[in-house]
Structures are given as structure tokens and as C-alpha cells.
Structure 1
Amino acid sequence: MTGTYKQNQKKIYGEDNFKALLKFRIDAGDEILASHIGLCDQNASYISKTTLHEITLCCGDEQLAICIRYFDTTSYEIQEKFFKFFDIVDVSGENIARTILQELDSLNLDISYC
């Protein structure tokens, strides 16, 4: 991964927040991300400001995602699972919290385990 890592450093140097998050993930050992960033052509990395802007526009005005991170007692590993995106109109903290609780309930996920 060393050679790939050096290529990553060049591609995400002069980073904005998104690129800083990518660097954080790579530094934390995300070898799949490191390989993608290191081996893809500069114009195929999908991390340019233009591409990120287009992706953001496709997502709509306001969306939240439900992702759960947990410790799997069988494999003894931390797992992350994406469940769904959902639209949100009122971005007040109270409404976001209420919406998250409703969505967790609709997925039959017990908040006491979160």
C-alpha cells in the first residue's frame, strides 16, 4: 500500500473538507479507498469540486441518511450499515431528532440499543 499511499497524497494534497475526510479514512487503513484513489486516473477519481457539486445537486435540497455503526460480537469487528436516505424539510434540531426516531421505528430498530 506504500506506493499507492504516496499517489493518494499527491491527489488529495491541498485538501478541502471532503478530501480531508478521504485522507482520514486512508490513514485509518481503508485499503479499498487508498487503492481507488491511488490507481485511478486523475479525471476518474470522482473527487473534483465539479463532480462533488453535481452529486450534491442530485441529492436534492435536504436529505439525511440512517447509518448504524456497531460492534459485531460474532466477528469481533466494528460494522457499519447504511439503511436509507430520507427527505427532511424542517432542519431544526427538534425535527431532525423526531424524524430520526420515526425512521428508526419504521425500520424496527430499538433506539435503546443505539
Structure 2
Amino acid sequence: MARKSAGTAGGEDIPNRRLQDTITPELRGRVHQKGVELDGTEGAEDLDDLLIAIDRFEAAVEEKGGDLMVNMPHSSPPENPGFVLPHRKAGEAIGGYVGRVEQAAEAVERGQR
């Protein structure tokens, strides 16, 4: 019979789990402020990857002279639709959405959006 090491629960490090329990709600809040829908299955690492992609996208928009306040997903109408963060599709896996945000950032950086 295998023994679990001290400080673990179900094979997971307890301090690491507590840190995730603290960080994940903060990350969810930051993502929600960007207008992105979450389904509750996203972990802290997924949310961190998403925020990095969003930060890159927003930096590219600002570099091209875009105004993030008038190019929000809920802006009606947006100043430049190409400067609006892509909408997460219903049922879309977080990894796929992160990839689409990264592609959108690349397109803005190249002046293709």
C-alpha cells in the first residue's frame, strides 16, 4: 500500500492548494473585468495563461493607437472591431480561447486587424 507524504491530500501539496484557492478567485475577477465568460472549470494556470494573452492583445491595441475603453466587448459600436477582444464561444475550451486571443494579438501587431 502506497503512503501519501506528509502535507498532501489526494497527492496534492496542501500549501499549493491553499495558494490556488486564494489566487483563483482573484484571477477570475480580473478575467471577468475584461468581459470574458468563464464556465468554472478553469484553473489558476489556465487563467494566468489567459491573462497573459489578454495583456499582450491589449498592449498591441494600444501600440496601434487603439483605446481600450471604446473597444470593449460591450462597446456599442466599438471604435475599431479589430481592436475588440475576441468573444469566447459557448463551450470553447480555455486553451482554444487562449490560442485565439494570441492569434488576435499577433494580427493586431502585424496591422492585420
Question: Which is strand-richer, 1 or 2?
Answer: 1
TM, length-normalised to structure 2: 0.28
TM, length-normalised to structure 1: 0.28
